[in-house]
Amino acid sequence: MNKMKVGIIGTGNIGTDLLIKVSRSEYLECGIFAGRNADSEGIRRARSLGINTSTDSIRAIEEDPGCCEIVFDATSAGVHRQNAVILKKLGKYAIDLTPSKIGKMCVPALNMAECLDADNINLITCGGQAAIPIIHAMMKVHPDIEYMELVSSISSKSAGPGTRLNIDEFTQTTRDAIESFTGVRKAKAIIVLNPAEPPVLMHNTIYAKMAKPDLPRLRREISAMENNIRKYVPGYRVTLGPVAEDGRVTTMVEVVGLGDYLPKYSGNLDIITCAAVNMAEEFAKENIINRKR
Query: Which amino acids are annotated catalytic?
Result: 126
Whether a cis peptide bond, with omega within 30° of 0, leads into 198 is: yes
Question: Residue 240 and residue 153: Cα distance in Å, rounded?
Answer: 15
Question: Residue 146 and residue 139: Cα distance in Å, rounded?
Answer: 10
Q: Which residues contact 148 (CB under 8 A, 6 or more apart)?
A: 135, 178, 182, 184, 186, 187, 188, 206, 207, 208, 209
Report the candidate in 132, 70, 124, 130 with the shortest Cα–Cα distance to residue 281. 70
The bridge status of strand 120-122 relative to strand 186-194 is unpaired
